[in-house]
Amino acid sequence: MTRIIKASAFMIDVEVETKRTDAVQSFVKQETVFVELTTDDGNTGTGYSYTIGTGGTSVLAMLRDHLLPRLAGRDAREIERVWHDLFAATRATTVGAITSLALAAVDTALWDLRCLRADEPLWRVAGGFRPEVPLYDTEGGWLHLSTDELVAGALASQAAGWQGVKLKVGKPRIEQDVERLRAVRAAVGDGLDIMVDANQSMTAAEARRRAAALEGLGIAWFEEPLPADDIEGHVVLARSTSIPIAVGESLYSPGQFRDFLARGAASIVQVDVARVGGITPWLKVAHLAETFNVEVCPHFLMELHVSLTAAVPNGRYVEHIPQLRAITHDEMRVRDGHAVAPEAAGLGIAWDLDAIDDRRTT
């Protein structure tokens, strides 16, 4: 048995590295909630989750008031059992964002411990399919950027050997979105994937209209066109267009992904390890998607998702949005247009403890 003898949580604010806007919001700051679990063999696992500006203190309260007190004396090797017991203990607030984010902070700490004990990197312990994954960029595609800026960003990504770029859509008029995308496609040619992301901003009718307008531009996927709980709308949209529909960053349980996949409402799964409740359910979603012959292209958190995407056979892309450089000693490696999974034991994130301490809010 490897007993947990200490469990603690705290939160820091990490400033955004650049202005980030989409059709419905701006990325204000990253509230990052950390969990540290120490076991009687002397190891300490570090896990985390995040919000983009609100709710972090609620996640922290869930951890301190309800989850962490249940961990004393538990066997850190029994990750599935611990996750199940914590989920059951908070059933009144599941399935929901706050509980899933709190569970993720605990679960990633347990997986960090598992990998440290094995002296292996996460990508290998979680499955070990391949050590690197194609990379696409989102940082050059925010909605406030001009058409010229979008073109320049896409050309830079292409010159660097990256496989794709994602552009935000949802301008007031459809012609504005189309003009921006046409300009980027004309600049990069056919050799670069272009994804578009509406951030749940459209009605079902508008999403179908815009998808039809984009049909001839070789769009790799249309991301979050509708509110995340509108399964029927996604079903109708998916049947009306040849553009793959991508969903998942705003889903909070494997069961929700099951419903989308079973209805044919998702062609790309964008499961977010923090929002779905940790590595344990993330892997379940990835393997579920594989049974439907659907690829996984996770949302955000590239420093952690690079290892998980590399672990599974249907991992297709890692999204480039750097956000941890202020609190880490290094950053994700990129080689020949691919994100390279860390080989260090554990989650593979080299935390800068001094920088983290400087940003503690509670």
The per-residue b/e assignment along 307-345, b for 16 or more CB within 10 angstroms, e otherwise, is bbbbbbebbbbbbbbebbebbbeeebebeebbbbbbeeb
Structure tokens at 351: 């935390």
**What value does the mean pLDDT take over residues 65-76?**
98
Q: What is the mean pLDDT of the chain?
A: 97
Please confirm, yes or no, whether 166 is among the known catalytic residues.
Answer: no
Give the mean model confidence (pLDDT) for residues 42-53. 96
The predicted pLDDT at position 257 comes to 98
Is 22 exposed, middle or buried, given 0-12, 13-18 or 19+ CB atoms closer than 10 A? Answer: buried
- Whether the CB-CB separation of 162 and 320 falls below 8 Å is answered with yes
Top CATH class, 124-340: alpha beta
pLDDT at 225: 97
**95 preceded by a cis bond (ω within 30 of 0):** yes
pLDDT for residue 194: 98
Whole-number Å distance between alpha carbons of 207 and 246: 13
CATH of 4-119+352-358, one of 1.10.150.120, 1.20.120.450, 3.30.428.10, 3.30.390.10: 3.30.390.10
Length in residues, the chain: 362
Of the residues 168, 234, 305, 320, only one is catalytic, namely: 168
Mean of the pLDDT values across residues 160-170?
97
pLDDT band at residue 167 under the 50/70/90 scheme: very high
According to the model, what pLDDT value does residue 196 have? 98
Would you state the pLDDT for residue 27? 87
Band the pLDDT of 12: cuts 50, 70, 90: very high
Q: What is the largest CA-CA distance in the chain?
A: 62
**299 a catalytic residue:** yes
Q: Quick one: CA torsion of 29, 139, 276, 309, rounded to 10 degrees?
A: -140
Mean pLDDT across 21-50: 95
Q: Among residues of the chain, what percentage have pLDDT more than 70? A: 100
**Which of the 8 DSSP states describes residue 346?**
B
Of the candidate ranges 54-58, 92-96, 248-252, 266-270, the one whose mean pLDDT is the lowest = 92-96
Instruction: Give the pLDDT of residue 217.
Output: 96
Does residue 362 carry a pLDDT above 90? Answer: no
**Per-residue confidence (pLDDT) for residue 13, from 0 to 100:** 95
Q: What is the pLDDT of residue 97?
A: 95
* Range with the poorest average pLDDT among 25-34, 73-82, 349-358: 25-34
What integer is the mean pLDDT of 235-257?
Answer: 97
b/e code 177-195 from CB counts within 10 Å (16+ = b): bbebbeebbebbeeebbbb
340, pLDDT greater than 90: yes
Average pLDDT over residues 242-264: 97
Q: How does pLDDT run across 118-161, given as a tens digit for each residue?
A: 999 999 999 999 999 999 999 999 999 999 999 999 999 999 99
Q: Is the pLDDT of residue 75 over 90?
A: yes
Matching CATH topology for 4-119+352-358 and 124-340?
A: no
Please name every residue paired with 38 in a beta bridge, in sequence order, or none if there are none: 6, 44
Whether pTM exceeds 0.85: yes
Cα atoms found within 13 Å of the Cα of residue 117, Cβ hemisphere only: 19
- In the prediction, which pLDDT does 94 show? 87
Q: Structural domain boundaries of the chain?
A: 4-119+352-358, 124-340
- In degrees and rounded to multiples of 5, residue 294 shows phi and psi of -120, 140
What mean pLDDT comes out for the span 273-283?
Answer: 98
Q: Which pLDDT belongs to residue 357?
A: 96
pLDDT tens, position by position, 280-318 = 999 999 999 999 999 999 999 999 999 999 999 999 999
> What percentage of the chain has pLDDT greater than the value 90?
95
* Catalytic hit among 299, 305, 320, 338: 299
For residues 242-265, give the mean pLDDT. 97
